[in-house]
Amino acid sequence: MKEIYFSNFKESGKLKNAVSIARTSPKSFTGKILKQLSPTMAMIQRFKKNNDGQWQWFLEAYTRLLYRRIDLEQLYNSCKGKVLLCHCGKDELCHRIILAKTFEIEFGAVCKEVGGWSIPFNKSFDEVKQFMSIYINYNGTEIDAIGNYKKLADAKAN
CA atoms of 126 and 99, how far apart (whole Å): 14
18, 94, 100, 145: residue in contact with Zn ion (rule CB under 5 A): 94
CB of 97 to Zn ion, least distance (A): 9
Residue 100, interface with Zn ion (CB under 5 A)? no
CB atoms within 10 A of CB 144: 13
Nearer to Zn ion, 24 or 78 (CB): 24
Residue 145, interface with Zn ion (CB under 5 A)? no
Where does this chain touch Zn ion (CB under 5 A) — which range of 41-49, 94-102, 104-112, 150-158? 94-102
Nearer to Zn ion, 86 or 145 (CB): 86
Distance set, CA 74 to CA 40, 45, 107, 144 (Å): 20, 28, 11, 22
CA atoms of 123 and 157, how far apart (whole Å): 35
Residue 111, interface with Zn ion (CB under 5 A)? no
User: Which region, left, alpha or beta, applies to residue 138 given φ > 0 means left and ψ of -120 to 50 means alpha?
Assistant: beta
18, 88, 109, 111: residue in contact with Zn ion (rule CB under 5 A): 88
Residue 83, interface with Zn ion (CB under 5 A)? no
Residue whose Cβ sits closest to Zn ion: 94
For residue 46, the surrounding DSSP H or E stretch is: helix 41-49
Where does this chain touch Zn ion (CB under 5 A) — which range of 32-40, 46-54, 57-65, 79-87? 79-87
Taking the CA atoms of the chain, what radius of gyration do you get in angstroms? 15
Residue 4, interface with Zn ion (CB under 5 A)? no
CA atoms of 142 and 108, how far apart (whole Å): 24
86, 109, 111, 146: residue in contact with Zn ion (rule CB under 5 A): 86
